[in-house]
Amino acid sequence: MEVRYKVMSNVFDFRLEMVCSAQKYGITEAARLFEVSRPAVHKWVGRFDLEGLQGLNDRSR
């Protein structure tokens, strides 16, 4: 399962794949596969859990 997702063109799709991978394989493995930090994976999984797909969209600052 050595798949790298850095080349995804859509940020939303990248986040969705990351969340699905985290749910299936765990936070640490998803962070390694997507080359992001574990806190970043936790953030997107948390938003997804609270808000569903809408939580994966960018927020205004």
Are 17 and 36 contacting, i.e. CB atoms less than 8 angstroms apart?
A: no
Reported pTM: 0.84
- What are 27's two structure tokens? 């936070």
Q: What is the pLDDT of residue 5?
A: 56
Q: Is the pLDDT of residue 6 over 70?
A: no
Query: CA-CA distances (angstroms) from residue 56 to 10, 40, 61?
Result: 12, 12, 15
Q: Is the pLDDT of residue 4 over 60?
A: no
